[in-house]
Structure 1
């Protein structure tokens, strides 16, 4: 077990440093980020913004538009007199603060230290975190690989199990870091993994959950994109796939699953757009690999619960995304559980999560993971959770490191409720 983990770590560290940096690092120094209240008048505001140099930060623009304004256009933007809140006085300065990574430490028992959750970290350290965590609990965990990314990085995961041995129970299945800039998702998934493993031996509630389910956790579905956010562009979203005939790079992997992919309105056909869905459903190497792995879970003991972790907005979204009128057969049960989860999350810090059917509660999406997991992979529950910050808060994707632990703790409390009730 330790040998396999060490071999994986070696490959990952090599790839993290070997991929050449072909582009200049994008600076957001001096960019001022705003949240604009739209009052459902989005088109008129977007028309005004089209004259300025701005970077869009959110897709759900009906109630508000989040943007970063280039330094030379800040005065012109403020002259428009929109109703706004400031998200970042200087986005570049906040990115610089966020990138002050604390050293990676382990305890005397060779377990990663909880200080890990005091800051963000470089990708190579994330790989080492999982390698060390699994090596410390070889009787209950192992590292696995589902395939390789566009740039050749391993898409790795960690498998956790309890009594009965590995692969003997229905699956609880997590994805993190699908969208590269959503750094908080990787940290929350790491915290959940850490707590499940370290508490298994001394917490009856956790032992019951781990004895009842096999956990398959893939913390970096989009490793290339995540590395790119740390080397070139902090706000990058997509994978790093290049396509013949297209000058723009990347596909939105949460629009590339081959279920309802062809439905219009929930993704873009323009390779330069943030929600570009690809030339065909499942044509990214990452999604191909994930489809094959997901099929093994379906054909094994089945999938009880799937959660795709994203940020931001404070949402717990149940199927479906492709059609606002479509409902899963167990819609009422899913909604009830989601509402219970929201209540439990709020008990830690008062954080309120909106629950609802994805298309109606947020916006339409096609070719997304939860629709695929529901109807193709036959997961009993398949959700998207949009983490901090919420719709009334600042920060967006560049969430201060001080919010890592609160974000993780409230989700851990919620997960314990969920595992006891699904």
Structure 2
């Protein structure tokens, strides 16, 4: 779907008044205000769902246009496959880790039970020769319903001139969402979330949101990428007008996606979260109250250069687009270039590796800009980050620190585990929610013995240090920091069909609401905390002091 320049014209972006205070008795009448009515008309005209759209579906059962991969896609992916190896012990993990390093293979995902690897079909025999006999038959192909090239093609939106595209994305002038419903409550979706969107659509959409909803949305800039692209974010929240309260650091929840270019579902999910809160303000009491208590900062594409490259050149590109010491190997893994424990506990990978961390900490430009922005927010802009969520795909996991090691437990581990379990439950009980596993970010490399009493740390399949999760947890002292790996568990991997965009967004909206109530002290161990005022965000309980006393 492409946004019309007419729809992006500032004259259509009707701003709401700046008297942001909205009390309970105002909610029912809020939708009758002239600015709200006009805003609703514009919003519906642009983003409403088609009449024929069914309830949210998670399976690929919508009408499809049969498309055939062209010569370019066949040249890139026609000779490749993705294999899942089942791991049963530490020796098998060590052998597989060594073999993937020797052959410079693309590891899609791994945990304590399996590893997904993309490689050339012609290289399968070479890989198997490097593995023990127990692994040579312990693998199955993923993407069994189609070839890799076909799955790549199917992940792109339909061409604009395709009849089915117009049928699925036709705009309706009749509202499909009841005035009191949020996007996550309505059975319809929005054409913007019916497909994955390129950067050329996402950035104007973000500008449109900030222009239309000026009471509670601001577009800000995190920094600039290596190739000179902006890294924008949406700050969603209603700031108090009371001077005394305004002097209190603003409790802020930070959500980021798109650090790995090919993980399109992470970018779409960040946008869905932002839209859900933006659209529900003034319509839904709970959301309105949350936006009065917190700011939410949404960064959908931390890696804009890589994201553009994944749309225009290589759908399965992961890293950013910086040159390296090898002219034929570009890119730094933005999730491995942060300064905290940059070396990790594994051998550094080379420039051709998908997890290359650079030659020094923060060599990845976008990671450095992000860290600088966050530090400046806390030091100079009266911001207190109370939670950090880093969205990735795939494997359906809620992960907490640390990533770099399994040998040290983070301070307040029980608090992290409790909230992570709550997030996973909120996801599971949401509409068509999936089961998400809860573990530490390093636990993908922990082999559990059959009696489940002894932990054996497996060799790392990829670099372990320099993670964004560990950096924001340890260096910025954000106690409630998590990485959430979204759908699915391997049926499609990074090529998740577009039918999953809205259901995945629904799941994480539920998790975000749970997180917010947890931070307000209304659920979990933080509920009933001493000296906590009802409905007020709770401060971090001496977490910085606990971290400083930890010997790493």
Which of residues 409, 413, 420 in structure 1 aligns to 2:510? Answer: 413
| Cα 1:146–1:69 shift into 2, 3 Å | closer
Provide Cα deviations, 1:235-286, integer angstroms capped at 9, x if missing partner. 1111000135654211111111111114441x73411111111121112221
Which of residues 339, 355, 374 in structure 1 aligns to 2:473? Answer: 374
Q: Kindly state the Cα deviation for residue 62 of structure 1 after the two structures are TM-superposed.
A: 4.8
| Cα 1:206–1:321 shift into 2, 3 Å | same
| Cα 1:164–1:105 shift into 2, 3 Å | farther
229-238 or 72-81, which deviates more: 72-81
Matched, 1:320 2:376: no
Provide Cα deviations, 1:346-380, integer angstroms capped at 9, x if missing partner. 11335111112212345672111121111211113
Query: Does structure 1 conserve the Cα–Cα contact (< 8 Å) formed by 2:344 and 2:405?
Result: no
Which of residues 67, 72, 84 in structure 2 aligns to 1:35? Answer: 84
Matched, 1:403 2:495: no
| Cα 1:157–1:84 shift into 2, 3 Å | same
Aligned to 1:357: 440
Aligned to 2:116: 66
Query: Does structure 1 conserve the Cα–Cα contact (< 8 Å) formed by 2:83 and 2:139?
Result: no
Query: Does structure 2 conserve the Cα–Cα contact (< 8 Å) formed by 1:305 and 1:382?
Result: yes
Structure 2 runs not aligned, ≥5 long: 1-8, 14-71, 130-135, 159-164, 175-182, 184-188, 446-459, 520-552
SS in 2 for 1:65: strand
Aligned to 2:155: 98
Give the Cα–Cα distance (whole angstroms) in 2 for the partners of residues 145 and 327 of structure 1: 34
| TM-score with structure 2 setting the length | 0.66
Matched ranges for 1:160-239 at <5 A = 160-164=236-240, 169-239=250-320
Q: Kindly state the Cα deviation for residue 96 of structure 1 after the two structures are TM-superposed.
A: 0.7
Provide Cα deviations, 1:308-343, integer angstroms capped at 9, x if missing partner. 111111111111112213233222111101101111
Matched, 1:115 2:183: no
Q: Kindly state the Cα deviation for residue 91 of structure 1 after the two structures are TM-superposed.
A: 0.7
Structure 1 runs not aligned, ≥5 long: 7-23
Q: Kindly state the Cα deviation for residue 54 of structure 1 after the two structures are TM-superposed.
A: 9.3
Which of residues 130, 142, 146 in structure 1 aligns to 2:222? Answer: 146
Aligned to 1:155: 231
Give the Cα–Cα distance (whole angstroms) in 1 for the partners of residues 345 and 300 of structure 2: 30
Report the aligned-residue RMSD: 3.3
Q: Decide which structure has the larger Cα Rg and report it.
A: 2
Number of paired residues?
400
| Cα 1:105–1:45 shift into 2, 3 Å | same
Provide Cα deviations, 1:180-239, integer angstroms capped at 9, x if missing partner. 110100011111000000001111111121111111111100000011111111111110
Which of residues 383, 389, 413 in structure 2 aligns to 1:307? Answer: 389
Give the Cα–Cα distance (whole angstroms) in 2 for the partners of residues 309 and 32 of structure 1: 26
| Cα 1:318–1:50 shift into 2, 3 Å | closer
| Cα 1:419–1:107 shift into 2, 3 Å | farther
Give the Cα–Cα distance (whole angstroms) in 2 for the partners of residues 283 and 54 of structure 1: 21
SS in 1 for 2:150: helix
313-322 or 359-368, which deviates more: 359-368
Aligned to 1:387: 486
| Cα 1:232–1:328 shift into 2, 3 Å | same
| TM-score with structure 1 setting the length | 0.85
Give the Cα–Cα distance (whole angstroms) in 2 for the partners of residues 218 and 368 of structure 1: 17
Aligned to 1:21: none
